[in-house]
Amino acid sequence: MENYDIVKADFNEIAELGSDPKWNHNNCYFPYLLRQISLGTEICLDIGCGKGELSALLSKRVNRVIAVDLADKMIEYARSNNAAENIEYICENILDMVYAPSSFDIIISTATAHHLPYGWLLEFAKDKLRPGGKLIILDLAKPDSIRDYIVWGFAAIPNIIMNLIKNLIKNGKLHKDDPHTADVWRKHGEHDSYMTIREVRILAAQHISDAKVQRKLFWRYSLIWEKK
């Protein structure tokens, strides 16, 4: 069972690190996620919105964005740095929130699904999405197959290159993040646990059988499901 006091504390520390790098393992997939959403879509729920980077991008495609995160400092940062008239930032645990059936056209989540009861999340989407609505998940996974090890093994090379470029742009030098930043992320990583892609597919088959689960580089997978 996830300890959400620890999760909140971790993400509050991460919020205090300031702006995210222009490239990281999540935001490099934002263009792919946004392509799944039609321009002019009515309402989107962003679960685990963090600092609001994706929420701000969503607000340009969707008429209304409800962006939820349990870390108050994340929400403070998002409201200060990624505000828009059509974004409502809410500091709350999504598990405690109540919405009517068929409330959303899009439910999207990046690097947050592993903190939630996965079956609950899939059933929540089934109930809260309108017909034709989409569930879009990008999350981390742990290796479990030869293909995982091969694909994610190759990912180590572009990962090194992109991190060198990131630090060159940020610091003017080819060195790693400062010790405090590295320590905050290391501590958060110790609290995280991930499913394998095989486990994700098994759960998806039980709840939303026609979902498309795809392995991505940088130790990620995507799940896309459209409610018929």
Q: pLDDT for 130-188, tens place per residue?
A: 999 999 999 999 999 888 888 888 777 666 666 655 554 454 444 455 677 777 767 76
Residue 13 has pLDDT above 70, yes or no: yes
Residue 116 has pLDDT above 60, yes or no: yes
List phi, psi (to 5°) of 119: -60, -40
Torsion over CA of 186, 187, 188 and 194, rounded to 10 degrees? 70
Q: What is the length of the chain?
A: 228
Cα 35 vs. chain centroid, distance in angstroms?
Answer: 16
d(CA 83, CA 78) in angstroms, rounded, equals: 7
Going along the chain from its start, the domains and CATH numbers come out as: 4-142+192-226 (3.40.50.150)
Query: Of the ranges 5-9, 177-181, 207-211, which is most confident?
Result: 207-211
Arithmetic mean of pLDDT over the chain: 90
Higher pLDDT, 179 or 61: 61
Closest CA to 227 of 156, 143, 136: 136
The pLDDT > 70 percentage for the chain reads 88
Give the 3-state secondary structure of residue 36. coil
Please enumerate in sequence order all residues whose Cβ is within 8 A of that of 125, keeping only pairs 6 or more positions apart, or say none. Answer: 107, 135, 208, 225, 227
Instruction: Give the pLDDT mean for 25-34.
Output: 95
